[in-house]
Amino acid sequence: MIKNNLSQRHFLEQNNKVNNLFEHLLQQMRTLGYPETRLWINVARQSFEHELFEQIKKN
């Protein structure tokens, strides 16, 4: 149970970092005038979150 809680906490911490990174990227793209890239950035975010979840689940 402790290992599971640590894995879950690690996942949440990493996921938060990923979300912050993608939010920063979205802001930069909007500033540069590329609002249509929001969809692709969100797809990349979901894919990355899925991979992160799978990696942590294995450990």
Instruction: Give residue 41's pLDDT.
Output: 78
The whole-model pTM stands at 0.59
Q: Are 2 and 54 in contact (CB under 8 A)?
A: no
22 vs 34, higher pLDDT: 22
Instruction: Give residue 44's pLDDT.
Output: 82
Q: What is the mean pLDDT of the chain?
A: 79
Q: How far apart are the first and last CA of the chain?
A: 14
For the chain, domain boundaries: 17-58
Element (H, E) at 24: helix 2-32
pLDDT tens, 1-15? 556 776 788 888 888
Distance CA 57, CA 53 (A): 6
Instruction: Assess whether pLDDT exceeds 80 at residue 36.
Output: no
